[in-house]
Amino acid sequence: MLEIGLISTLNGVLFGMLLFLMASGLTVIFSMMGVLNFAHASFYMLGAFFGFEISRHVGFWPGLVIAPVLVGGIGMLVERYGLRTVHKHGHVAELLFTFGLTFIIEELVQMVWGKLAVDYRVPQLLDFPAFTIFSTEYPAFKLFELFISIAIFLALLLVIKRTRVGLVVQASLSHPEMVGMLGHNVDRVFMLVFGVGAGLAAVAGVIAGPALVTQSNMAQSLGPILFVVVVVGGLGSLSGAFVASLLIGLLQTFAVASDASLADVFGELTGNGPLIAYVSDIWNVTVAQLSAVMPYLLLVLILIFRPRGLMGTRET
């Protein structure tokens, strides 16, 4: 019991941090620009493929720096020549714009790298088990993931709360005209923010690419889970997203570990008949089978009982 508890906690924390790594860029863009970026997962995929391509020529580590810079640049171009034009038509137009972008990026990635998975490897330097608990090994690369995730969290928090840049960015969202009057270029601020968000997505891609599967459908398969992280954490709250990632990671991991079903709680169903046969299917479903639904259940509950999320400040 201790064994499964300890290992589940560890697995949950590691998965939660991976989720945060993936969701951090999304939160940044939303909290500072108010744009719900549907193309986030696509930037994440671009990061993974750029990282793969660079790792083939000059190695993983340069890729970890170059790929996010490139994707960040693409993000800025998208903001400057796409999003900014669409912006004046309101949030729905922005949403649809980024939604359309996901399909374009997926198609482009398929054209360049094909539809099959590419062989993106963990760097040699981190390709060893870091420690062993109850005969389960934990690879060093996963700890690296954890470390990067926490570093990004702290760095972002510091920049937003404690620096002038952070102040200007925050002020640009709520009082763009005033910030403009004070001599700051609001448009350029937004462009930079979007670039940073896209770059963060790419960092997640470069790191998750070797750990998971780098394939042209990876943006799709990442799915809506990141939105759950952002909404549960509180729209636009970085600390909220951090806590929500951990919560979802732990929730899902512990759900998988549990084999309890309604039958265990209330006893086996007795009797015959069509109704019993129908209900017995539901009666015997284990918590483990429902693990993938858990985050969405949490999402629904949060929206009902605490619409602004765990740490959000706004109602929307």
Partner 1 sequence: MRKLFVSTAIALSVFGATAFHAAAEDTLKIGYVDPLSGGGAAAGQIGLNQLKYIAEEVNANGGVLGKQVEIIPYDNKLDPQVSLVQVQKAIDQGVRIIVQGNGSSVASAVESFVTKFNSRNPGKEVVHINHAAIDPSLTNDNCSYWHFAFDANVNIKVEAMTNFMKANDAIKKVYLISQDYSFGHSVADAAAKKLGAEGSSIEVVGNEFVPLQKVTDFSPYIAKIKASGADSVMTANWGNDLQLLIKAAGDAGMDVNWYTFYAGLAGTPTAIKQASLEDKVFQITEGVNNIDYKPMQDKVKEYMAKYPDAPIYYPRLFNAMGMVFKAVEEAGSDDPVKFVPKLEGMHYADFIDGKEGFMRADDHQYFQTMYISGLGPLGANQPFDEEGTGWGWKVAATVPVDDTIVSTTCQMERP
Question: Using the rule CB under 8 A, which residue among 34, 53, 82, 110 binds partner 1?
Answer: 110
Closest CB to partner 1 among 119 and 315? 119
Angle formed by the axes of helices 140-162 and 2-33, to 10°? Answer: 40
For residue 130 the two structure tokens come to 């870091």
Question: Using the rule CB under 8 A, which residue among 59, 91, 129, 306 binds partner 1?
Answer: 129
> Least distance to partner 1 from the beta carbon of 239, Å?
23
- In this structure, the number of other CB atoms found within 10 A of the CB of residue 227 comes to 18
By CB under 8 A, tell whether 257 contacts partner 1. yes
Closest CB to partner 1 among 77 and 262? 262
Instruction: Give all strands (DSSP E) within 147-262, no chain letters.
Output: none
Site string for partner 1, 272-311 (x = CB under 8 A): ----------------xx-xxx------------------
Query: In the range 198-237, which residues lie near partner 1 by CB under 8 A?
Result: 210-213, 215, 217, 220-223, 225
The tokens 């420690």 sit on which residue? 131
The tokens 């980024």 sit on which residue? 98
By CB under 8 A, tell whether 132 contacts partner 1. yes
3-state helix, strand, coil in the chain (%, to 5): 75, 5, 20
Closest CA to 316 of 27, 20, 24, 34: 34
Q: Which amino acid is residue 161, in one-letter code?
A: K
**DSSP classification of residue 212:** S
Q: Calculate Rg over the CA atoms of the chain.
A: 22
62 vs 48: CA distance, rounded Å: 13
Site string for partner 1, 139-178 (x = CB under 8 A): x--x------------------------------------
State the residues that interact with partner 1 by CB under 8 A.
Answer: 3-4, 7-8, 11-12, 14-15, 18, 110, 114-117, 119, 121-122, 129, 132, 135-139, 142, 210-213, 215, 217, 220-223, 225, 249, 252-254, 256-257, 288-289, 291-293
